Each structure stands twice: as C-alpha cells, then as structure tokens.
C-alpha cells in the first residue's frame, strides 16, 4: 500500500530522490507543491518532468480531503462536510462577518469528551486527523471564501469536531504547515486553538512556546456545575486549569480567552457571573459569552435576552472586557456545538459498531 507523501519531511523526500538517482533539489520542488501551492495530485506538479511525476505516483499517494457537500446559511455561513480518504466525514465552517473571514476546522473524527451541550460529543472518536487533513480543511475553506465572497481568509479556529489537545502532535504539525513561510504563511496570531481543558497539555503548549491563541471552553466557574457539563473537569479541576493557564501565560505572554455559553437557569445568574469574575481574577484572560445553540434532545436551553444582558452587565461592572458572540449558521446546524455529521448517515452506524 502506497503511503501519503505528505507524511514525509523534506529530508525524507530528499533521501527518496537520492536513492532513486534523482537530483536532491527535486525534493524542495515537491515540498513547495505540496505545502505552498496545495497540490492535490502529482499531475499538478508541472515544474517536474513527466518521468519524475510518474516515479512519485508509483511510490506515493496524496490523500486529499474533498468537499462531499456543503450548505449555505441565511447569514452566509457555509458548513462543509469533508470526506477523508477512508470515507469518514468531518465538518468545517466558513464564518463570514464584516470584520473577518474565519475557518472553523476539525481535529478528530468524532470526539471522546461527551460534553453534555455538544452534538459532536455524542459521537465516538473514530480517529485523529493527520496534519495534512487539517491543513486541507483550511485550503478548501480559504478557496471558498475567495470564490464565493471574494474576501481572503483572515482567521482560523480549531473549534470544530474533536479535542485538539488530544491530537497534539498532528495539530501542532498542521499549525506549522499553515504558518510556515514554506507553507501557507499565515500569521499564528490569526489562529486560535480551543480546548475543553487538559491541564498537562496546556502546560506543554507553554513549554513549546506556541505563538497562536488559546481558548478554554469554560462554561461554568465552579467545579460542581462544570463536572455536570463537561466530565473532563473531574480530572482537570478549575484549580488545576488555573495553574496550567498561568503557566502558559508565563511562558508565552498570551492571555487565554474563556468561552462561556449561557444556559437558561443553569449558569446564567448573577451569582454565576460573580463566580466567573472570581475565576477571571485568577488568570490573565478575556471572556467571550456565547449563545447556546440547542441540539436535538439536549437538556439545556438558551437563556433569555434579559438574563444575558444582566449577566454581561455584571461582568462589565467588574471592569471585564466582554465579547458577546452571536450564533452563526444555526439554520444549517453549523453553529458552535452543533457539528454532528448529519450529512454522514454512516457515522451513527460506525459509532454503534465501535461501541
């Protein structure tokens, strides 16, 4: 079985060419085609001879991700169902606003964390995506932004399906390919990785000196409520996360963003807001308040506009800068927490088979 050439480093491709009696500089040409020009087949590599392209085709494949189908929301948000080489589907979203054009991308097929408010959490984690599969989502959404809206892609958020820090190596490799001058050359400051909160991996991000932004899905600032929402909190308490996030800040100088979904009569009271204020004081941070996007059969509801305003006002009274993120793409199940592969009828069958 031929391997995907994009799993090889430049050095490994160079070794391949030398062993085949080819000029070593061919490797750099191939590498540029793969990561700068995003070639999806060897035939696209027109600066190589037909013989060289044939040699590559004889030994390797490019397992390019394809758009299986897409839906366009009334607010212009686009949800993509990406088909992988093995038939699995992941979803990604293009979110256009007046200020930016954002790609929301996935890092795993399904998810293992079972957060109670998230449709993806109901799916089993079937496998991790590799760096090239994550990179391809960015390339395809970037192309969509340019073709459909004539606006370049400005931001990338790892907030789609899966927990990025449980696919650490490939997520980090994908960021390198997206930001490197030998790749897409995007600024790491335009990238945000969102985590449900894995303390030891947050510290590793600090040790690795990452340049991208980090967001924590917080949603409750006391352990009892957060345990109910997010079982991962039982092994990664708020105390442990505060310590890890301060470590991350000390190493990188980057303030984390807390994402806080407000649920009706669960975490939307003034006392809940005060707990959030108290936690904010422990960690250099910003706060995004997010509208809840209901999922089929979910136990939570969106809070009222009145309670939302009172919650935000309490934060602002405490000198906290708060951004309220309104939902995008709700009518096509593209909003935060709604990605559940409804376009892939085989996903549920594969999930049950795995169980």
Mean pLDDT of the chain, nearest integer: 91
Ordered mean pLDDT values, 10 residues apiece, the chain (355 residues): 95 97 96 98 97 97 96 92 96 92 96 80 85 98 96 96 97 98 97 97 98 97 96 96 98 97 95 98 96 74 93 96 77 52 43 32
**For 146-163, how does the pLDDT look when each residue is reduced to its tens digit (9 = 90+)?**
999 999 999 999 999 999
Let me know: does 75 contact 90? Beta carbons within 8 Å.
Answer: no
Let me know: does 22 contact 52? Beta carbons within 8 Å.
Answer: yes
- What pLDDT does residue 241 have? 98
Locate CATH 3.20.20.70 in the chain. Answer: 66-354
- Report the top-level CATH class of 3-61: mainly alpha
Residues 66-354, CATH architecture: Alpha-Beta Barrel (3.20)
Locate CATH 1.10.150.530 in the chain. Answer: 3-61
CA distance 88 to 71: 18
User: Rounded to the nearest 5°, which phi and psi values hold at 197?
Assistant: 115, 85
* Positions marked active-site: 91, 336
Q: Is the pTM of this model over 0.85?
A: yes
**For 232-273, how does the pLDDT look when each residue is reduced to its tens digit (9 = 90+)?**
999 999 999 999 999 999 999 999 999 999 999 999 999 999
């Amino acid at each position: 079985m031929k391997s995907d050439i994009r799993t090889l480093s430049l050095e490994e491709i160079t070794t391949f060419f030398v062993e085949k009696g080819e000029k070593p500089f061919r490797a750099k040409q191939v590498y540029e085609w793969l990561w700068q020009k995003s070639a999806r087949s060897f035939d696209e590599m027109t600066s190589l001879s037909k013989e060289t392209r044939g040699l590559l085709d004889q030994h390797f494949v490019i397992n390019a991700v394809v758009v299986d189908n897409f839906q366009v929301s009334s607010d212009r948000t686009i949800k993509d169902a990406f088909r992988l080489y093995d038939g699995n589907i992941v979803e990604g979203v293009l979110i256009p606003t007046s200020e930016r054009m954002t790609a929301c991308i996935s890092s795993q097929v399904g998810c293992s964390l079972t957060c109670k408010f998230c449709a993806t959490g109901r799916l089993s984690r079937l496998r991790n995506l590799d760096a090239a599969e994550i990179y391809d989502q960015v390339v395809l959404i970037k192309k969509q932004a340019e073709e459909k809206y004539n606006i370049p892609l400005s931001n990338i958020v790892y907030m789609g399906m899966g927990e990025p820090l449980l696919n650490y190596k490939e997520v980090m490799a994908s960021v390198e390919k997206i930001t490197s001058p030998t790749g897409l050359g995007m600024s790491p400051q335009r990238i945000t990785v969102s985590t449900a909160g894995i303390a030891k991996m947050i510290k590793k991000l600090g040790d690795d000196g990452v340049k991208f932004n980090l967001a924590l899905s917080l949603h409750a600032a006391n352990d009892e409520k957060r345990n109910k929402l997010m079982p991962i909190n039982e092994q990664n308490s708020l105390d442990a996360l505060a310590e890890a996030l301060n470590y991350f800040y000390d190493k990188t100088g980057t303030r984390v963003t807390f994402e806080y979904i407000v649920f009706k009569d669960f975490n939307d009271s003034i006392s809940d807001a005060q707990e959030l204020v108290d936690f904010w004081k422990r960690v250099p941070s910003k706060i995004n308040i997010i509208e809840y996007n209901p999922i089929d059969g979910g136990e939570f509801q969106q809070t009222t506009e009145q309670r939302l305003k009172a919650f935000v006002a309490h934060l602002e009274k405490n000198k906290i800068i708060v951004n309220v993120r309104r939902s995008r793409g709700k009518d096509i199940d593209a909003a935060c927490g709604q990605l559940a592969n409804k376009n892939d009828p085989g996903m549920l069958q594969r999930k049950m088979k795995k169980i």
